[in-house]
Amino acid sequence: MKLGIVYHMPFWRDAGGTLREVEGSFARYVDSLAPYFDEISLCAPELSSAPSGEGTALRSRNVTLAALPEFAGPAQFYPRLATILPRLFRWVGSIDLLHCRVPTPAAVFAFQAARLRRRPAFVLVVGDLRALLPSMPYRGIKKVLWRAYTEFEETNVQRMADHALTFANGAALAAKHTRAGRPVIETTTTTVHAAEIATRADTCLGAPIRILTVSRIEPRKGLRVLPAVVRELVDSGIEVQLEVVGPTSGGPGEAERAAIVSEAARLDVGDRVTLTGAVALDRLLPMYAGHDVFVLPTLPGEGIPRVLLEAMSAGLPIVATRVAGIPGLVAHDINGLLVEQPTAAALSASVSRIVHDGALRQRLIAQGYDTARKHTLEAQAARMMEVVANRLQVALRRPVALPAV
């Protein structure tokens, strides 16, 4: 059984020929599915030159790359569509089962090719473009074009969900795309192996308190509020250092980074705020253990951010926004703290609670571990493949055995 996966995360080959992905979360996802198939073919962009940093290696030997031309987004993808379409159609003819991880520009074309060639398919929805619209920084014609593309892509995602076995990252996305007689199955995407879950029972045992945020830097992530959070905590007598780990996303991301640096300087906390940039996942995961509290002030538009499970697995108490699929993973006062709006006052008050209440902190950490154990890569892959095997009547290489939790 040969699985084909189409997605937009770019890959490149290192000097030894190993395929590597910039962020790493998609590479780990692919590796988790690899034991169930004879071969996996990735239809994804290939970078023309290696980026800075080491990236994350694909470790499975049965994964190959069916390279698409390099593109950063729809503005680069669609002008090349005439040359990409024949390549997609030939590729779909070479696989037995199609998997579309959406939203992504090439997915709808691969999906239509699969229907024409009578190839079975399943879909995983990981984001909500329509919910992102209020936070996008575009003006004028760019705003009009982005809105038009959003509606086009949302229509495509719904059409796929209406005609294929579909999973969605979190309850909110599952509910959004479910239709009468066509339920969408909720899942929780993750990057953490069972063996990587930590054991520390407490944090915040010394000064300064080390706050961590892991996120791409772009307007929809709500990161501009973080310098004000640091300022309020310092004014309340809590010594803190904040580290933001993640790449910028294009021009809007660069503008967002500059705004964060400017705001930190204006509030006189520039020496307390560090923007580390992109870190490959294999190197990022151990970094969580060097911090005390995890804060994610994200805005609507996501499923369930995988960084929440990464933080839980490392023993970090979490403060996050009650948006999108996050409440489906984080239960307030149980395995994390949720704020209704990501304001500086709300976020700093929640961090202060964690710092000053040891019993609360230790409970959040312990419950976070329990949550992480239920949502490992191994568990996610087994649950998805059980459904795929039964619903699509495909023969997998490895019998599905659900991990005990």
> What tens digit of pLDDT does each residue of 174-210 get?
999 999 999 999 999 999 999 999 999 999 999 999 9
Helices (H), 164-249: 171-177, 226-235
- Look at residue 399 and tell me if it is in a domain: no
Alpha carbon 175 to its chain centroid, in Å, reads: 19
Cβ neighbours of 48 (radius 10 Å)? 9
Asked if residue 383 has pLDDT above 60, the reply is: yes
CA angle 64, 42, 215 (to 5 degrees): 120
> What tens digit of pLDDT does each residue of 262-274 get?
999 999 999 999 9
Shared domain for 144 and 71, answered yes or no, is yes
pLDDT, residue 392, reads 96
Shared domain for 111 and 219, answered yes or no, is no
Shared domain for 222 and 206, answered yes or no, is yes
pLDDT, residue 142, reads 85
Query: Cα dist. 253→137, 248, 256, 355 in Å?
Result: 10, 5, 5, 31
Residue 221 structural domain: 194-374
For the chain, give the mean pLDDT: 93
Shared domain for 369 and 380, answered yes or no, is no
> What average pLDDT score do residues 26-34 get?
95
Shared domain for 175 and 274, answered yes or no, is no
Helices (H), 117-249: 129-132, 140-163, 171-177, 226-235
> What tens digit of pLDDT does each residue of 244-291 get?
999 888 788 899 999 999 999 999 999 999 999 988 898 899 999 999
Alpha carbon 247 to its chain centroid, in Å, reads: 13
pLDDT, residue 401, reads 57
CA-only gyration radius of the chain, Å: 21
Q: Are 402 and 386 in contact (CB under 8 A)?
A: yes
User: Would you place residue 316 in the very low, low, confident or very high pLDDT band (cuts 50, 70, 90)?
Assistant: very high
- Look at residue 74 and tell me if it is in a domain: yes
- Number of residues that this document lists for the chain: 405
Asked if residue 36 has pLDDT above 90, the reply is: yes
**What gap in Å lies between CA 360 and CA 334, rounded to an integer?**
9
pLDDT, residue 53, reads 67
Cα–Cα nearest to 89, from 25, 24, 6: 6
Cβ neighbours of 136 (radius 10 Å)? 18
CATH of residue 294's domain is 3.40.50.2000
pLDDT, residue 404, reads 52
CA atoms within 13 A on the CB side of 143: 8
Shared domain for 55 and 186, answered yes or no, is yes
- Look at residue 163 and tell me if it is in a domain: yes
Query: Cα dist. 233→242, 341, 351, 381 in Å?
Result: 11, 18, 8, 40
Shared domain for 66 and 199, answered yes or no, is no
Asked if residue 397 has pLDDT above 90, the reply is: no
pLDDT, residue 55, reads 84
Helices (H), 208-356: 226-235, 250-266, 281-287, 306-313, 344-356
Shared domain for 199 and 308, answered yes or no, is yes
- Look at residue 400 and tell me if it is in a domain: no
> What average pLDDT score do residues 350-354 get?
98
Shared domain for 307 and 329, answered yes or no, is yes
Comparison of pLDDT for 401 and 230, the residue scoring more: 230
* Sign of CA pseudo-dihedral 310, 335, 128, 107: positive
- Look at residue 405 and tell me if it is in a domain: no
Please tell me whether residue 265 adopts helix, strand or coil conformation: helix
Q: Provide CB contacts within 8 A for 99, sequence distance 6+.
A: 3, 4, 5, 6, 33, 121, 122, 123, 124
pLDDT, residue 405, reads 47
> What average pLDDT score do residues 220-237 get?
96
Asked if residue 10 has pLDDT above 70, the reply is: yes
As for how many domains the chain has, the answer is: 2
pLDDT, residue 173, reads 93
